[in-house]
Amino acid sequence: MEPDMRRIMVVLGQQLNPDGSMTKILKDRCTRAAIAFEEISANEGLKTSIIVSGGGVEKVGFPESKLMRENLVEGHGLPDDCVHEEGESTTTAENATNVKRMLDEDALGFTPREILLVTSKFHMPRAHYLFEREFNGDVEIREVIASDAGLPKEDGDLDGHINQYSVEQRYAFEAKLLEELRAADEN
């Protein structure tokens, strides 16, 4: 199978559970990426490079990207040479900046014209905005939306861990962050 030289996939991380395991939301993002990879392979006969992006080393001793890579390669059977790690970022803005740096440094050996951005539905508007801003129109950003099923149904403690927020709380939180970003960019 030929490598896909036109596009890459970027799978955004999420803070790991305190025991260092992946959250359901993060597993769902990886599963959605694996499905998209298989669809491209079956329909176009191409191997798409994937960058798994997420750090968070200080909390559990290793980056989210390590577990994401293992999940995709060992859990979903994706080719080892297709999955690349970006394990330094701790925010969505850093995800975008660090992925762009990897591409600018030719880490994959080519410059894509398209990024398939994989994240949860609640996270996508802000993530898409940040990637569009970082890439400044040089690359088309297309959305591959994963499930929000891992979010709790009941309202959580707003002073607690963000992964405890309910679906409604998380959408409101993300909308507020996006509004603040847009306002800051306008100034």
Q: Which runs of consecutive H residues, i.e. helices, occur in 45-159?
A: 57-60, 64-70, 92-104, 124-135
pLDDT digits 0-9 by tens, 92-109: 999 999 999 999 999 999
Domains of the chain: 2-150 (3.40.50.620)
Run of H or E including 103: helix 92-104
The token pair at 73 is: 């390669």
Cα gap 161→116, rounded to integer Å: 28
Of 122, 106, 111, 105, the residue nearest 166 (C-alpha)? 122
Tokens standing for residue 84: 């690349």
In angstroms, the first-to-last Cα distance of the chain is: 48
Determine contact, residues 116/48, Cβ cutoff 8 Å. Answer: yes
Q: Is the pLDDT of residue 167 over 90?
A: no
Confidence band (pLDDT; 50, 70, 90) for 58? Answer: confident
User: What's residue 9's pLDDT?
Assistant: 98
Cα separations (Å) of 124 from 4, 12, 129? 24, 10, 8
Provide the angle, in degrees to the nearest 10, between the axes of the packed helices 124-135 and 167-186: 30
What is the percentage of the chain residues whose pLDDT exceeds 70? 93
